[in-house]
Amino acid sequence: SKKGFIFDLDGVIVDTAKYHYLAWKKLAESIGVNFTERENEQLKGVSRVKSLEKILEWGNKSISEDDFMKLMAIKNDDYLTYINKMDKQEILPDVERVLNLLIQNNQGIALGSASKNAKTILKKVSLIHNFDAIVDGNDVVKGKPNPEVFLKAAKDLKVKPNQCIVFEDSVAGIQAANAADMISIGIGEAEILHEADFVFKDFTEMENSFLIELINE
Ligand code: G16
Ligand code: MG
Q: What is the pLDDT of residue 162?
A: 98
Atom 8, ligand 1: which residue's CA is nearest?
Answer: 45
As a whole-number percent, the residues of the chain with pLDDT over 70 amount to: 100
Average pLDDT, the chain: 97
Q: Sort strands 183-187 and 198-200 into parallel, antiparallel or unpaired.
A: parallel
pLDDT digits (tens, 9 = 90+) for 35-46: 999 999 899 989
Is the CB of 186 within 6 Å of ligand 1? no
Work out the number of other CB atoms within 10 angstroms of the CB of residue 210: 13
Atom 6, ligand 1: which residue's CA is nearest?
Answer: 115
Give all strands (DSSP E) within the chain, no chain letters.
Answer: 4-7, 108-112, 133-135, 164-168, 183-187, 198-200
pTM: 0.93
pLDDT digits (tens, 9 = 90+) for 151-206: 999 999 999 999 999 999 999 999 999 999 999 999 999 999 999 999 999 999 99
Mean pLDDT, to the nearest integer, of 51-56?
A: 98
Q: What is the pLDDT of residue 189?
A: 96
pLDDT score of 208 more than 90: yes
Can you tell me the distance from the alpha carbon of 54 to that of 107, in angstroms, rounded to the nearest whole number?
37
pLDDT band at 58 (very low <50, low <70, confident <90, very high): very high
Instruction: Tell how far the Cα of 119 is from the centroid of ligand 1, in angstroms.
Output: 12
Q: What is the pLDDT of residue 1?
A: 84
pLDDT score of 213 more than 90: yes
pLDDT score of 33 more than 90: yes
CB–CB of 202/187 below 8 Å? yes
pLDDT digits (tens, 9 = 90+) for 63-108: 999 999 999 999 999 999 999 999 999 999 999 999 999 999 999 9
Give all strands (DSSP E) within 3-117, no chain letters.
Answer: 4-7, 108-112
To the query of whether residue 8 is one of the catalytic residues in this protein, the response is yes
Is the CB of 152 within 6 Å of ligand 1? no
Sheet containing 133-135, strands listed edge to edge, beginning at the edge strand earlier in sequence: 133-135, 108-112, 4-7, 164-168, 183-187, 198-200
Atom 12, ligand 1: which residue's CA is nearest?
Answer: 115
